[in-house]
Amino acid sequence: MENLANYIFIGSIIAICLVILRINRRRDDGLVRDPGEALVEFGNAYPKEAIRGALMDKSGKTTFMRLADGKTGLTQVVGNAWVVRIIEPNDVEVDLTESGDGLILKFEDDSMIGGEYQFASPEDAAEVSLWICGSFGLKMAETLDELKSED
């Protein structure tokens, strides 16, 4: 009976170690498999910002959030750390990638690093670009739709 208790104890220790290793490996690979993690991190940094929507890039490292006041939130996993930002529409230049399913962001402020972000579809890339461009981008889309309907 004592041997059985020892086996259970050792098995429990091994199981706990495996769980800890799996959690640490998940953090080390820099991937967020659930945008909920990014939302929680953003909420911790900006508790008064209301989030209306979220889209994650293909890499699983960056999540863009549409905020209630027209700004865009951004969370990125860098190693074991999170980078959390609010993007104002006038602070960034947005271009589409050649494939059309990604965005290239160039920030006016040198302290914010831009980059290329690929999405699951061109529609997701377009949606995030509208969030970033804010109300100006939405107004332009409405104007284009009105012009098309007049033709």
Containing structural domain, residue 11: 1-29
In the numeric block, the tokens 């086996």 are attached to 7
Helices (H), 29-51: 35-45
Residues 6+ apart with CB under 8 A from 99: 118
Same domain, 116 and 144: yes
Q: Are strands 92-96 and 81-87 parallel, antiparallel or unpaired?
A: unpaired
Same domain, 19 and 62: no
Same domain, 42 and 101: yes
Assessment of whether the complete model's pTM goes beyond 0.75: no
Total number of domains constituting the chain: 2
Same domain, 14 and 88: no
Same domain, 39 and 94: yes
Q: What are phi and psi of 39, to 5 degrees?
A: -65, -40
Residues in the chain predicted with pLDDT less than 70, given as ranges, are: 1-2, 5-7, 9-12, 15, 17-33, 89, 110-112, 135-144, 147, 151
